[in-house]
Amino acid sequence: MKMGLKRVFLALEVPDEIRQDIECFKERLNTGEAMIKWVEPENLHINLRFFGEISEEEIKKIEECSKQIADSQKPFELSIEGLGFFPNNISPRVLWLGCTSKELLKLRFDLEQLFEEAGLGKEKKEYKPHITLGRIKSKKEVRTLSKEVCKKSETRLGTFHADRITIFESRLSFKGPEYIKIAEFKLGG
Protein backbone atom coordinates (compact mmCIF):
# COMPACT_ATOMS: atom_id res chain seq x y z
CA MET A 1 0.00 0.00 0.00
CA LYS A 2 1.24 3.50 -0.83
CA MET A 3 2.23 5.83 2.00
CA GLY A 4 -0.63 7.91 3.36
CA LEU A 5 -3.36 5.80 1.80
CA LYS A 6 -5.92 3.71 3.63
CA ARG A 7 -7.96 0.75 2.38
CA VAL A 8 -11.55 1.90 3.04
CA PHE A 9 -15.13 0.70 2.72
CA LEU A 10 -18.60 1.86 3.81
CA ALA A 11 -20.95 -0.66 5.41
CA LEU A 12 -23.91 -1.49 7.59
CA GLU A 13 -22.79 -3.31 10.71
CA VAL A 14 -24.49 -6.60 11.57
CA PRO A 15 -25.89 -6.65 15.14
CA ASP A 16 -24.56 -9.20 17.64
CA GLU A 17 -27.76 -11.28 17.74
CA ILE A 18 -27.66 -11.71 13.93
CA ARG A 19 -23.92 -12.52 14.12
CA GLN A 20 -24.77 -15.30 16.60
CA ASP A 21 -27.53 -16.61 14.30
CA ILE A 22 -25.08 -16.61 11.40
CA GLU A 23 -22.49 -18.54 13.43
CA CYS A 24 -25.12 -21.18 14.34
CA PHE A 25 -26.17 -21.36 10.68
CA LYS A 26 -22.54 -21.87 9.55
CA GLU A 27 -22.11 -24.70 12.08
CA ARG A 28 -25.17 -26.48 10.64
CA LEU A 29 -24.02 -26.13 7.01
CA ASN A 30 -22.79 -29.36 5.47
CA THR A 31 -19.64 -28.10 3.77
CA GLY A 32 -18.21 -31.56 3.11
CA GLU A 33 -14.47 -31.33 2.56
CA ALA A 34 -14.59 -27.87 0.98
CA MET A 35 -11.80 -25.56 2.09
CA ILE A 36 -13.44 -22.34 3.30
CA LYS A 37 -11.82 -19.35 4.99
CA TRP A 38 -14.69 -18.17 7.17
CA VAL A 39 -15.19 -14.48 7.90
CA GLU A 40 -14.67 -13.79 11.61
CA PRO A 41 -17.97 -12.95 13.38
CA GLU A 42 -16.78 -9.45 14.33
CA ASN A 43 -16.05 -8.73 10.64
CA LEU A 44 -19.52 -9.62 9.30
CA HIS A 45 -21.07 -6.60 7.55
CA ILE A 46 -23.15 -5.50 4.58
CA ASN A 47 -20.91 -3.63 2.20
CA LEU A 48 -22.31 -0.43 0.72
CA ARG A 49 -19.18 0.55 -1.20
CA PHE A 50 -15.57 -0.58 -1.31
CA PHE A 51 -13.29 2.35 -2.16
CA GLY A 52 -9.93 0.62 -2.09
CA GLU A 53 -6.77 2.55 -1.23
CA ILE A 54 -7.62 6.22 -0.87
CA SER A 55 -6.26 9.46 0.59
CA GLU A 56 -7.37 11.36 3.70
CA GLU A 57 -8.89 13.98 1.40
CA GLU A 58 -11.07 11.33 -0.25
CA ILE A 59 -12.03 9.94 3.18
CA LYS A 60 -13.26 13.42 4.15
CA LYS A 61 -15.43 13.51 1.00
CA ILE A 62 -16.86 10.09 1.90
CA GLU A 63 -17.61 11.32 5.42
CA GLU A 64 -19.41 14.42 4.09
CA CYS A 65 -21.49 12.43 1.59
CA SER A 66 -22.28 9.69 4.11
CA LYS A 67 -23.43 12.19 6.73
CA GLN A 68 -25.64 14.01 4.23
CA ILE A 69 -27.35 10.80 3.08
CA ALA A 70 -27.60 9.34 6.60
CA ASP A 71 -29.29 12.53 7.84
CA SER A 72 -31.86 12.27 5.04
CA GLN A 73 -32.80 8.59 5.47
CA LYS A 74 -34.72 6.98 8.32
CA PRO A 75 -33.67 3.71 9.99
CA PHE A 76 -35.19 0.64 8.33
CA GLU A 77 -35.76 -3.10 8.66
CA LEU A 78 -33.53 -5.42 6.70
CA SER A 79 -34.15 -9.12 5.99
CA ILE A 80 -31.35 -11.68 5.86
CA GLU A 81 -32.46 -14.24 3.29
CA GLY A 82 -31.02 -16.32 0.50
CA LEU A 83 -27.76 -18.23 0.24
CA GLY A 84 -25.48 -18.33 -2.76
CA PHE A 85 -22.05 -18.01 -4.35
CA PHE A 86 -20.12 -15.35 -6.20
CA PRO A 87 -19.50 -15.42 -9.06
CA ASN A 88 -21.72 -18.51 -9.59
CA ASN A 89 -22.39 -22.12 -8.53
CA ILE A 90 -20.04 -23.55 -11.16
CA SER A 91 -16.96 -21.63 -10.07
CA PRO A 92 -17.68 -20.57 -6.46
CA ARG A 93 -15.25 -18.18 -4.77
CA VAL A 94 -17.43 -16.47 -2.14
CA LEU A 95 -20.26 -17.92 -0.03
CA TRP A 96 -22.85 -15.31 0.98
CA LEU A 97 -26.17 -14.65 2.71
CA GLY A 98 -28.46 -12.24 0.88
CA CYS A 99 -30.05 -9.06 2.26
CA THR A 100 -33.32 -7.53 1.13
CA SER A 101 -34.83 -4.13 1.74
CA LYS A 102 -36.15 -1.43 -0.58
CA GLU A 103 -34.72 1.14 1.82
CA LEU A 104 -31.27 -0.45 1.57
CA LEU A 105 -31.36 -0.18 -2.21
CA LYS A 106 -32.48 3.47 -1.96
CA LEU A 107 -29.69 4.20 0.54
CA ARG A 108 -27.13 2.64 -1.78
CA PHE A 109 -28.49 4.49 -4.83
CA ASP A 110 -28.47 7.86 -3.03
CA LEU A 111 -24.93 7.28 -1.74
CA GLU A 112 -23.66 6.32 -5.19
CA GLN A 113 -25.14 9.46 -6.76
CA LEU A 114 -23.51 11.70 -4.17
CA PHE A 115 -20.16 9.86 -4.35
CA GLU A 116 -20.11 10.33 -8.12
CA GLU A 117 -20.97 14.04 -7.79
CA ALA A 118 -18.15 14.41 -5.23
CA GLY A 119 -15.64 13.00 -7.71
CA LEU A 120 -15.27 9.61 -6.01
CA GLY A 121 -16.13 7.69 -9.16
CA LYS A 122 -18.94 5.34 -10.00
CA GLU A 123 -19.21 1.74 -8.81
CA LYS A 124 -18.84 -0.48 -11.87
CA LYS A 125 -20.28 -3.70 -10.46
CA GLU A 126 -24.00 -4.32 -10.06
CA TYR A 127 -24.93 -4.07 -6.38
CA LYS A 128 -25.94 -7.36 -4.77
CA PRO A 129 -26.57 -6.74 -1.04
CA HIS A 130 -25.06 -9.59 0.97
CA ILE A 131 -23.04 -10.69 3.96
CA THR A 132 -19.91 -12.60 3.01
CA LEU A 133 -19.73 -15.81 5.06
CA GLY A 134 -16.50 -17.18 3.66
CA ARG A 135 -14.13 -17.51 0.76
CA ILE A 136 -13.67 -20.81 -1.06
CA LYS A 137 -9.94 -21.59 -0.97
CA SER A 138 -9.95 -24.58 -3.31
CA LYS A 139 -12.31 -25.80 -6.00
CA LYS A 140 -11.66 -29.36 -4.84
CA GLU A 141 -14.47 -30.97 -2.91
CA VAL A 142 -17.04 -28.18 -3.41
CA ARG A 143 -19.73 -30.57 -4.73
CA THR A 144 -21.18 -31.26 -1.24
CA LEU A 145 -21.16 -27.54 -0.44
CA SER A 146 -22.82 -26.70 -3.77
CA LYS A 147 -25.61 -29.20 -3.09
CA GLU A 148 -26.08 -27.78 0.40
CA VAL A 149 -26.28 -24.21 -0.94
CA CYS A 150 -28.88 -25.29 -3.50
CA LYS A 151 -30.96 -26.93 -0.75
CA LYS A 152 -30.69 -23.86 1.48
CA SER A 153 -30.90 -21.14 -1.18
CA GLU A 154 -34.20 -19.90 0.32
CA THR A 155 -32.76 -19.59 3.84
CA ARG A 156 -34.34 -16.87 6.02
CA LEU A 157 -32.25 -15.87 9.01
CA GLY A 158 -34.36 -13.00 10.30
CA THR A 159 -34.44 -9.24 10.24
CA PHE A 160 -32.68 -6.40 11.96
CA HIS A 161 -33.05 -2.68 12.42
CA ALA A 162 -30.45 -0.80 10.35
CA ASP A 163 -29.87 2.55 12.02
CA ARG A 164 -26.35 3.67 11.03
CA ILE A 165 -23.71 3.48 8.34
CA THR A 166 -20.02 3.09 9.15
CA ILE A 167 -16.80 3.93 7.35
CA PHE A 168 -14.09 1.34 8.03
CA GLU A 169 -10.42 1.06 7.33
CA SER A 170 -9.40 -2.48 6.41
CA ARG A 171 -5.89 -3.45 7.50
CA LEU A 172 -4.66 -6.68 5.97
CA SER A 173 -2.28 -9.02 7.79
CA PHE A 174 -1.33 -12.69 7.76
CA LYS A 175 -4.00 -13.26 10.47
CA GLY A 176 -6.72 -11.81 8.24
CA PRO A 177 -8.30 -8.38 7.88
CA GLU A 178 -8.80 -6.06 10.82
CA TYR A 179 -11.56 -3.46 10.48
CA ILE A 180 -11.12 -0.13 12.25
CA LYS A 181 -14.00 2.35 12.48
CA ILE A 182 -13.19 5.72 10.98
CA ALA A 183 -16.65 7.29 11.39
CA GLU A 184 -20.28 6.31 11.79
CA PHE A 185 -23.47 8.17 11.00
CA LYS A 186 -26.91 7.55 12.47
CA LEU A 187 -29.71 7.31 9.95
CA GLY A 188 -32.17 10.15 10.45
CA GLY A 189 -29.52 12.37 12.07
Q: Which amino acids are annotated catalytic? A: 45, 130
By CB atoms closer than 10 A (0-12, 13-18, 19+), residue 181 is exposed
b/e for 2-38, b at 16 or more Cβ within 10 A? eeeebbbbbbbbbeeebbebbeebbeebebeebebeb
Is residue 75 within 8 Å of residue 162, measured between CB atoms?
Answer: yes
How many Cβ atoms sit within 10 Å of the Cβ of residue 76? 18
Q: How crowded is the C-beta side of 46, counted as CA atoms within 13 Å?
A: 29
Q: 3-state class of 59 per DSSP? A: helix
